[in-house]
């Protein structure tokens, strides 16, 4: 087992074959460069660890190294926010989830626009039928 300390280093206790145990310090250069502690892997970055809603989105992200991204996350529901370093696979998954969310939003918007147009057309038809619309209205 290893635990990060305040300097972003990992200390691991290793028991040697002789029975003597030593502490091995692991440096995490990526995290030190980025100025943040390595964040434990989260499978789903879009799920808020505070309120469990699936609304978390990236405020900004940038390459932290060849294999990792530094991402500032924010939950609009509870205002949870965190700067973390995540591997490429995790960020790719997050990106796909965000794309799905965008598609769902566009679908909802189209439905809403269509529903509004239908309602407007029905009102217009009802007004025409009631002779409430006259040529001088145009
Ligand atoms: Zn939240």
pLDDT tens digits along 10-69: 677 777 777 777 777 655 544 445 555 555 555 689 999 999 999 999 999 999 999 999
Question: Which residue's structure tokens are 């809603």?
Answer: 53
| Distance set, CA 106 to CA 58, 93, 109 (Å) | 19, 20, 5
Q: Is residue 113 part of a domain?
A: yes
If you measure from the C-alpha of residue 127 to the centroid of ligand 1, how many angstroms do you get, rounded to a whole number? 47
Q: Is residue 24 part of a domain?
A: no
pTM value? Answer: 0.54
Q: Is residue 40 part of a domain?
A: yes
If you measure from the C-alpha of residue 50 to the centroid of ligand 1, how many angstroms do you get, rounded to a whole number? 5
- The per-residue pLDDT for range 76-122, each reduced to its tens digit, is 999 999 999 999 999 999 999 999 988 988 999 999 999 989 999 99
Q: Is residue 11 part of a domain?
A: no
If you measure from the C-alpha of residue 59 to the centroid of ligand 1, how many angstroms do you get, rounded to a whole number? 14
Residues 6+ apart with CB under 8 A from 52: none
Q: How many separate domains does the chain show?
A: 1
76: containing domain? 35-137
If you measure from the C-alpha of residue 47 to the centroid of ligand 1, how many angstroms do you get, rounded to a whole number? 8
Q: Is residue 131 part of a domain?
A: yes
Q: Is residue 28 part of a domain?
A: no
């Amino acid at each position: 087992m290893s635990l990060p300390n305040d300097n972003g280093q990992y200390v691991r206790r290793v028991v040697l074959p002789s029975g003597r145990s030593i502490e091995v310090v692991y440096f995490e250069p990526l995290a030190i460069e980025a100025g943040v502690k390595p964040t434990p892997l989260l499978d789903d970055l879009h799920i808020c660890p505070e309120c469990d809603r699936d609304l978390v989105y990236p405020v900004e992200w940038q390459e932290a190294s060849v294999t990792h991204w530094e991402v500032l996350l924010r939950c609009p529901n509870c205002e949870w926010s965190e700067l973390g370093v995540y591997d490429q696979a995790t960020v790719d998954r997050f990106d796909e989830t965000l794309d799905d969310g965008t598609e769902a939003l566009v679908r909802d918007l189209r439905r809403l626009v269509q529903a509004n147009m239908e309602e407007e057309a029905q009102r217009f038809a009802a007004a025409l039928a009631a002779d409430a619309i006259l040529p001088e209205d145009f």
